[in-house]
Each structure stands twice: as structure tokens, then as C-alpha cells.
Amino acid sequence: MVDYNNISPEQWEKIEREDHDEQYKDSRPFSANRYKIDIPHVIWWEDYCYKKGRRPDRGHRTRKTFDVMNLENLRGKTILDIGCGNGQYSVFFALLGADVYGFDISAVGIEVANKIAKENDVADRCNFSVQNASHIDYSNEFFDIVFMHEVLHHTIKYPNVKDEILRVLKIGGIVVCADGTVGNPMLRIGRYFTMKGKESMGDVKLKHSDLDELSIGFSDHSIEQMSFFFMGKRVFQNWLMFPPIRWMLYCVKKFDDVLLTLFPGLKRYCGEFVMVLKK
């Protein structure tokens, strides 16, 4: 029995690599049944949660990352995709004209990423490798954008990650980070019913103090916090494709949007965020 409260970063990396290898081995980009990526479809799919046919969950915050990255202006940008998984976002950005470097601790994920890049004819603009975020093998001030999509809750437990990000990011460059925080009461209820110890596989429960600490050393930062009552969706995560559940959660999300507009102080207790850090 592994004591998950007292293991080294090297042990964590082994645990997470094995878990992620299993996740990525038969994966396709954006939950499709093929390797080809259709740009308009991805933008449509990563849209407001629980619209018909859209991404089952989290599309609203991913779409926000697209907005802050300004997809129409990515041509010629150099992007680092930390924890790129199967490379779907890396290839998506390459199709929009960026030069993309993605890495992950999963060799299986990187193998799939190279296949997706080849199938989409952007292998010349995608550079994938197996790395750990503690020691990034890139030159100083090399990237215009560092993209961290739902990976901070993994990488934050490894040493030197912020220092490495600051090192490889250009002056004036940005870090775009989308993830979740644990301060929301609805999220805690949802985790109680659904996680059942999954945090032991490496999911750090992010706190607002973690985000405050991460922002130190950057010249500027902004954060958009979202999802108050909406975080109760965790209770229904196994039924997200059922139309009545989707309709209910769509209504809850709309209610949250109005609530947070009227009472912005509640954002502190939201369960999801998109953060932009500028060097």
C-alpha cells in the first residue's frame, strides 16, 4: 500500500505516467472517432456547457482560454503546451499557424500526439517530447505563450515548475491556465460522491493561495472565476449525456452567470478559473 502523503516527485511521476499511459493509448482528438481535426468544429464543440452536441463538460472554460489567446492571431507565435497529453490542443494551434512544442510525462501520449500531427499535416510545426515540467529542455525566453490546460493540479506538486516557466517565457509573453479550485462547497459535495480517492493518483486540490503564489514573479495577472452552483455538476458526471440532465445543468449555468454578475463577490467561492499571467 503506497503512502500517498509521503512519496517523492520521482514516485509521483511514475504513478502518473502509468495512469496517463492508460488514458491516452486509444485516444482521439476532442473525443472524435478520427485523427483529423476540423477547426470550426472544435471551436463549436468547445462552447457554452450543455448546449446540444457540445463538449460534455468544461467547454465554457476552454472556450475562454481560446478567447484570451486570440486564435485569429496565432500565426507565427511559438507556443509551449505543458502536459499536452495526446497533443490535441497543440495540433489545433499548429493548424492555426503557430509553432508548437508540447511535452508530457506519458510516452504513450506523445506517440499519439505525433500521429495526430502527422494525420493533420502539421508535423513540421509540432515538436513533441517526453519531459517533466521540473526541468524543461528549451532555451531561455523562447515562447510567446505557455498553455496549461487542466494540468496545474498535477504539475504544482513538482519542484521548480514556475521557475522553469518564467525562464522559457519571453518578456511580454503570457501563461494561459485553466483549471479548478477546491473552495466551492458544491464541488466538495460532488467530490465526495464521485472522486472516491482519485486525488491519490496525483490530483492536487488547488486553493486560491496556490494561485496567488503562482502569480508572484509575473508583471501582471488576471483571473476569471466561474461556476458557483454549477459545480454541483460533479454529482451528475456519469449522466452528462442524458438530455434532461444536460438541460438542467444548462439552466444552472445560466443562473450562475446572472448570479455572479449581480454578486461578483461570490466569484471567490467559484470552482473553476481561467488565469492569465504576463511576464
Cell of 16: 502518473
34-40, long-range: CB within 8 Å, 24+ apart, which pairs? 35/115, 35/116, 35/119, 35/120, 36/119, 36/120, 37/88, 37/91, 37/92, 37/95, 37/116, 37/120, 39/92, 39/95, 39/96
Q: What would the pLDDT profile of 132-187 be if each residue is shown by its tens digit?
A: 999 999 999 999 999 999 999 999 989 999 999 999 999 999 999 999 988 666 55
> How high is the pLDDT of residue 231?
84
At residue 4, does pLDDT exceed 70? no
Domains of the chain as residue ranges with CATH: 9-278 (3.40.50.150)
How confident is residue 262, by pLDDT bands cut at 50, 70 and 90? very high
Q: What's the mean pLDDT when you consider all of the chain? A: 90
How confident is residue 55, by pLDDT bands cut at 50, 70 and 90? confident
How confident is residue 1, by pLDDT bands cut at 50, 70 and 90? very low
> pLDDT: is 83 or 229 the higher one?
83
Q: What would the pLDDT profile of 57-97 be if each residue is shown by its tens digit?
A: 888 999 999 999 999 999 999 999 999 999 999 999 999 99
Determine if the pTM surpasses 0.75.
yes
> pLDDT: is 10 or 222 the higher one?
222
Cell of 269: 467561492
> pLDDT: is 257 or 202 the higher one?
257
Contact 91, 113 (CB under 8 A): yes
